[in-house]
Chain A
Amino acid sequence: MSTFPIEQIRADFPILGETIRNKPLVYLDNAASCQKPQAVIDSIVHTYSHEYANIHRGVHTLSVRATDKFEGAREKVRAFINAASTKEIIFVRGATEAINLVAQSYGKSQLKAGDEIVISAMEHHANIVPWQMLCQQIGAFLRVAPMNQQGELLFDEFEQLLNAKTKLVAITQMSNALGTINPVEQIIAAAHAKNIPVLLDGAQAIPHMAVDVQALDCDFYVFSGHKIYGPSGTGVLYGKQALLEAMPPYQGGGDMIRQVTFEKTEYAGLPHKFEAGTPAIAEIIGLGAAIDYVTAIGMDKIAAYEAELLDYATQQAEQIKSLNIIGQAAHKGGILSFTLDRIHPHDIGTMLDSLGIAIRAGHHCAMPVMDFYGVPATARASFAMYNTRQEIDVLMQGIKSLIEVFG
């Protein structure tokens, strides 16, 4: 922990100096969205001040500059997740759009009535609803692999769901509601043994661990830029080139064509085939800056630091008698989801907010997870690399105080 440059990192995030209700901000809602370092803010200001124009269009200098920076961000993303080619990096608005793209393009063209898609019991709505929509459209079926009370995937039961009709596995790498980190290598190996492609929802995992899509051998990987300290409105779909080549476009429009007549259109090659319309140019360049930022610190160092934070928070939380931790997987990322006896999560959220502490209270877009635990909602503190033990102390003191007030 001593080598982790926490003071420098905190100084790089201007919003961490804010006061909320006259208290120093303690931002513990990182699973919903992360704050932005100055480097990302500067990148956006710089783009709009010096390098902004539409991309892939003009011969003029600014357009060329903007295009170079935009495509430069694509290379940064490629290197960050170790994709084989920038052709495999599709820019979208977020993980949600990426999953919808795969469902509507890959799913609609490759699956048929009676086929099955396997997800898990701990998915975010974004990895449930697009598949339900696809199933309704084509007559396919959604199968849900169960989990245990700790919030761990029941691997044997997952494996038993894989059969000749299974045409896709779509599963989260890390649960946003529970913190569970899934054994994705094992999942992918089991699916590939039956020639079933795997989509990994990396929305929650991406800021917390190093990801190598070639080592994982996943077929699709999706994540959102805003959860890795980048701008909102940015996201990435990684897909193996052969799969993406075979897929029809998701949306039609400018930038995704080679030639258009009123009789027919010839589509552009990868990755542009999937990038109709003007994208979030400055934001995607800003995502490149965010990736530079975390890469300079080192994903392994970030993971180690956050693991210590989670251990500390868990130890402290376990000392509060009426606190129940929801999600106690052996392999877990920096998420502490909990309930308090007789105190509703929304009251916890409002009470902690008055102390300057931002947590999430609600169903975390994972209503089936809430149903599984028989709770309407949970309170969730989620940690990022800029959080500290002192902030966890403030959180725990706040929880103890509000328990007293509620009596």
Chain B
Amino acid sequence: MFEDLRDLYQEVIFDHNRNPRNFRVMDNANRQVEGFNPLCGDRLTLFLKIDDHVISDASFQGSGCAISTASVSLMTEIVKGKTEDEAEALFKQFHEMTTGKTEEINLEAIGKLAVLAGVREYPARVKCATLAWHTLDAALKNEAQSISTE
């Protein structure tokens, strides 16, 4: 059963859904943005600590589906230690990968995030994977405190 879904629900996704990384409130965050997907009710709060243009810490709180939880969990892992520009570049690559704009996935750059490439075959689920990154984008641009995927 569910053989067709192996590309979408990879073991890494189940793992991050069961045990989300960096799932905590960050008291000393200097960026905090809410992300909301009104279609499915996914909500997350992203916390960043940015020192001298480098993301020194990232964490989140919230509830969502397995894809969205795994996506934000993986994201907080990968952006730690990256500069703001590097994180922005990653957002663009991730967006292109999940929306199917690029066939070739730059594995070196995208790393573990490649497990989320499967969503491009499921248009109804792309927003689940990209919510975290749109929220990050808003946090980096220091935009308003709430971001919606609609």
Binding site for B on A (CB under 8 A): 21-22, 343-347, 350-351, 354-355, 361-363, 370, 375-377, 398, 401-402, 405-407
CB distance from A373 to the nearest CB of B (A): 12
Q: Decide yes or no whether B16 CB sits under 8 A from chain A.
A: no
Partner of B65, one of A347, A363, A375, A407: A347
Q: Which of B37-45, B49-57, B72-80 contacts A (4 or more CB under 8 A)?
A: B37-45
CB distance from B12 to the nearest CB of A (A): 14
Contact with A along B1-40 (1 / 0, CB 8 A): 1101100110000100110000000000000000000011
Which residues of A sit under 8 angstroms from B122, Cβ to Cβ?
Answer: 350
B14 x A350 contact (CB < 8 A): no
Given A376-B63, A401-B2, A350 and B41 contact (CB-CB distance below 8 Å)? no
Chain A to chain B contacts (Cβ below 8 Å), 26 pairs? A21-B4, A344-B42, A344-B64, A344-B66, A345-B40, A346-B40, A346-B65, A347-B9, A347-B65, A347-B66, A350-B5, A350-B8, A350-B124, A350-B125, A351-B9, A354-B5, A363-B40, A376-B40, A376-B42, A376-B43, A377-B40, A401-B1, A405-B2, A405-B9, A406-B17, A406-B66
Q: Decide yes or no whether B139 CB sits under 8 A from chain A.
A: no
Besides the contacts A354-B2, A406-B17, what 13 more A-B pairs have beta carbons closer than 8 Å? A21-B4, A343-B66, A344-B66, A344-B69, A345-B40, A347-B65, A347-B67, A350-B8, A350-B122, A350-B125, A361-B40, A376-B41, A398-B1
Interface residues of A: mostly helix, strand, loop or mixed?
Answer: mixed
A362 x B41 contact (CB < 8 A): yes
With both beta carbons as reference points, the residue of chain B lying nearest to A361 in the complex is identified as: B40
CB distance from B3 to the nearest CB of A (A): 8
Which residues of A sit under 8 angstroms from B42, Cβ to Cβ?
Answer: 344, 376
Q: Decide yes or no whether B128 CB sits under 8 A from chain A.
A: yes
CB distance from A21 to the nearest CB of B (A): 6
Measured in the bound complex, the distance between the Cα atoms of B65 and A406 in whole Å is 12
B8 x A355 contact (CB < 8 A): no
Measured in the bound complex, the distance between the Cα atoms of B41 and A156 in whole Å is 32
Measured in the bound complex, the distance between the Cα atoms of B105 and A3 in whole Å is 58
With both beta carbons as reference points, the residue of chain B lying nearest to A406 in the complex is identified as: B14
Measured in the bound complex, the distance between the Cα atoms of B122 and A350 in whole Å is 9
Which residues of A sit under 8 angstroms from B69, Cβ to Cβ?
Answer: 344
Which residues of A sit under 8 angstroms from B66, Cβ to Cβ?
Answer: 343-344, 347, 406
Which residues of A sit under 8 angstroms from B65, Cβ to Cβ?
Answer: 344-347
Binding site for A on B (CB under 8 A): 1-2, 4-5, 8-9, 14, 17-18, 39-43, 63-69, 122, 124-125, 128
A-B interface pairs (CB < 8 A), number: 64
CB distance from A390 to the nearest CB of B (A): 17
Partner of A407, one of B4, B18, B39: B18
Measured in the bound complex, the distance between the Cα atoms of B96 and A386 in whole Å is 42
Which residues of A sit under 8 angstroms from B5, Cβ to Cβ?
Answer: 350-351, 354
Measured in the bound complex, the distance between the Cα atoms of B109 and A87 in whole Å is 68
CB distance from B41 to the nearest CB of A (A): 3
CB distance from A26 to the nearest CB of B (A): 14
Measured in the bound complex, the distance between the Cα atoms of B122 and A280 in whole Å is 33
With both beta carbons as reference points, the residue of chain B lying nearest to A397 in the complex is identified as: B1
Given A361-B40, A406-B14, A346 and B4 contact (CB-CB distance below 8 Å)? no
Measured in the bound complex, the distance between the Cα atoms of B4 and A210 in whole Å is 42
With both beta carbons as reference points, the residue of chain A lying nearest to B39 in the complex is identified as: A362
Which residues of A sit under 8 angstroms from B4, Cβ to Cβ?
Answer: 21-22, 354
CB distance from B11 to the nearest CB of A (A): 10
Measured in the bound complex, the distance between the Cα atoms of B17 and A405 in whole Å is 12
For B17, B40, B63, B125, the residue with the greatest tally of chain A CB atoms inside 10 Å of its CB is: B40
CB distance from B123 to the nearest CB of A (A): 11
Measured in the bound complex, the distance between the Cα atoms of B3 and A401 in whole Å is 12
Measured in the bound complex, the distance between the Cα atoms of B53 and A59 in whole Å is 76
For A343, A345, A350, A406, the residue with the greatest tally of chain B CB atoms inside 10 Å of its CB is: A350
CB distance from B108 to the nearest CB of A (A): 29
Which residues of B sit under 8 angstroms from A377, Cβ to Cβ?
Answer: 40-41
Q: Which 9 A-B pairs have the closest CB atoms?
A: A376-B41, A344-B65, A346-B65, A377-B41, A401-B1, A354-B4, A347-B66, A346-B40, A347-B65
With both beta carbons as reference points, the residue of chain A lying nearest to B43 in the complex is identified as: A376
Measured in the bound complex, the distance between the Cα atoms of B5 and A22 in whole Å is 13
A355 x B1 contact (CB < 8 A): yes
B2 x A351 contact (CB < 8 A): yes
With both beta carbons as reference points, the residue of chain A lying nearest to B42 in the complex is identified as: A376
Which residues of A sit under 8 angstroms from B125, Cβ to Cβ?
Answer: 346, 350
